[in-house]
Amino acid sequence: MRSLIRDLLLSTATAESIHAAGWVRTRRDSKGFSFLELNDGSCMGNLQVIADAGIPGSEDLAKMSTGASVSVEGKLVASQGGGQAWEVQATSIRLLGEAPDDFPLQKKGHSPEFLRSIAHLRPRTNLYGAMFRVRSRMSHAVHRFFAERHFHYIHTPIITASDCEGAGEMFRVTTLDPVAGKAKSYAEDFFGKAAHLTVSGQLEGELFACALGNIYTFGPTFRAENSNTSRHAAEFWMIEPEMAFCDLQGDMDLAESMVKYLVKEALDGQDGDLSIFEKFVDKGLRERLEFVADNPFERVSYTEAVEILKKSGKSFEYPVEYGLNLQSEHERWLTEEHFKKPTTVFNYPKEIKPFYMRLNDDDKTVTAMDLLVPGIGEIVGGSQREERLDVLIENMERHGLSMEDYAWYVDTRKYGTVPHAGFGMGFERMLMFVTGMQNIRDVIPFARTPGHCEF
Ligand code: 4AD
Ligand code: MG
């Protein structure tokens, strides 16, 4: 049985016979002995293996260079040298796969851009190994957060015929051959109608909230928006809770507790992986996260936010005017410079928001909310949904949506409608926030962005 290196490093006693395997990080030869640092991805730490020239397999020691894969059997003993508590005295060692001299990760200190070009190998570095272990553990934490609150996990479809956000930024799904020349109609296509990759699981999530009460989705979503920024990807993971019998206040409260829960998880639950981000990415990371975990967030209406921005005296690139969308520079100034803490902006003008948001009594604004965090900007977007049948139908007409296509959505308002609310959290943006990583391409295993679909 192979032991994980993380378990061996946490051992409380010596062991006569263990089996471990991993990739060589470094090898040093001295006085007939080889000292190998092995990493198996189970944790950041390496297992030091000492192999003497006589043991079975030692004839291949010279080939066990950085990047090679190795399997080892031996004794787990207290380490003689400093730096580690335990080490393995090998009784046999086996070369599984060589890594010739052109292995690109021989040296440390590669640029993020170079590492993106070898995204298939970058998880073998300390930083990206930690990144993707943190990503895994944060995913578990998301599920735990909802399980503790008795939310049901719903798998909403990836292929859909609806456009939740109404922004038209969708990838088409078709089996028709675009180069066949002859124009064909959707009737001939696989689904007999136009189909796309989902931009959000919300609409289907609402259907289930209107039956199971509190639900959430956690899955991939797709946006064909041609924005080449450090915060946008064409494929990203979104977490979307939806709550029946809930209003905007309850929605903002859940978003705030979820951000805090995940921040605390990042601080406490990462098996030491977070320290590497503090060391190499963001020196103030821990302090910043502790502040977020321990202090209430700010809440400000869109109208107030516009006033504050206008009075700021700052010259922004994009105009600040009631009725215009807040741009990332505005959002970041509000949360970074003005409030200096995570900030939820709510009640936006109805003209700039999708059809499903609940109209306020002022007839001008809808119950939208965006949670902004320093360094990133928008991390969560959500709203209370329009539950009144007549108002919803008016909204849909205003947005030019066909009643026929969305009859199933309207049904939830026709039969036993309830106030309900939800939001979407961008998982990659949350990961950027808790690790300090500056580019969304570095927190997702294989980034899809305009012009890039490698691997
Ligand atoms: O604000 P958005 O577009 O909201 C929705 O899709 C709603 N239907 C969610 C809901 O109410 N259930 O997206 C939600 C979040 C954003 O706040 C952002 O964090 C993230 O998803 N996001 C992206 N992340 C990475 N790349 C992109 N292109 C993103 N677009 C949105
Ligand atoms: Mg949004």
Higher pLDDT, 116 or 225: 116
Structure confidence by residue, pLDDT tens digits, 46-65: 999 999 999 999 999 999 99
pLDDT at residue 291 is higher than 80: yes
DSSP letters for 48-97: EEEEETTSTTGGGGGG--TT-EEEEEEEEEE-SSSS-SEEEEEEEEEEEE
Q: What is the C-alpha R_g of the chain?
A: 26
Counting ligand 1 atoms within 8 A of each CB, the residue from 151, 236, 243 with the most, and so the one to mutate, is: 236
* Range in 107-111, 178-182, 396-400, 414-418 with the lowest mean pLDDT: 178-182
| Domain 5-97 shares a fold with domain 122-442 | no
Ligand nearest to the backbone CA of 426: 1
Structure confidence by residue, pLDDT tens digits, 74-87: 999 999 887 889 99
Q: What is each CA distance from 92 to 53, 99, 414, in whole angstroms?
A: 10, 20, 72
Which of 3.40.920.10, 2.40.50.140, 3.30.930.10, 3.40.50.720 would CATH assign to domain 122-442?
A: 3.30.930.10
> How would you list the strands of the sheet with 420-426, edge to edge?
152-153, 214-222, 235-244, 420-426, 377-384, 365-373, 343-349, 298-301
Q: What is each CA distance from 25 to 48, 57, 65, 331, in whole angstroms?
A: 10, 19, 8, 43
Q: Is 331 in the pocket of ligand 1 (CB under 6 A)?
A: no
109: confidence class by pLDDT, cuts 50, 70, 90? confident
Domain ranges of the chain: 5-97, 122-442
Nearest ligand 1 atom to the CA of 422 is 11
Q: Is 379 in the pocket of ligand 1 (CB under 6 A)?
A: yes
Max Cα-Cα span within the chain: 85
Q: Does domain 5-97 have CATH number 2.40.160.10?
A: no
Q: Is 427 in the pocket of ligand 1 (CB under 6 A)?
A: no
Counting ligand 1 atoms within 8 A of each CB, the residue from 170, 199, 200 with the most, and so the one to mutate, is: 200
Ligand nearest to the backbone CA of 199: 1
Nearest to 363 by CA among 341, 379, 386: 386
CB atoms within 10 A of CB 109: 6
Q: Atom 23 of ligand 1 has which residue's CA nearest to it?
A: 426
Q: Is 447 in the pocket of ligand 1 (CB under 6 A)?
A: no
**If you measure from the C-alpha of residue 380 to the centroid of ligand 1, how many angstroms do you get, rounded to a whole number?**
7
Q: What is the mean pLDDT of residues 295-304?
A: 98
Which amino acid type is present at position 118? I
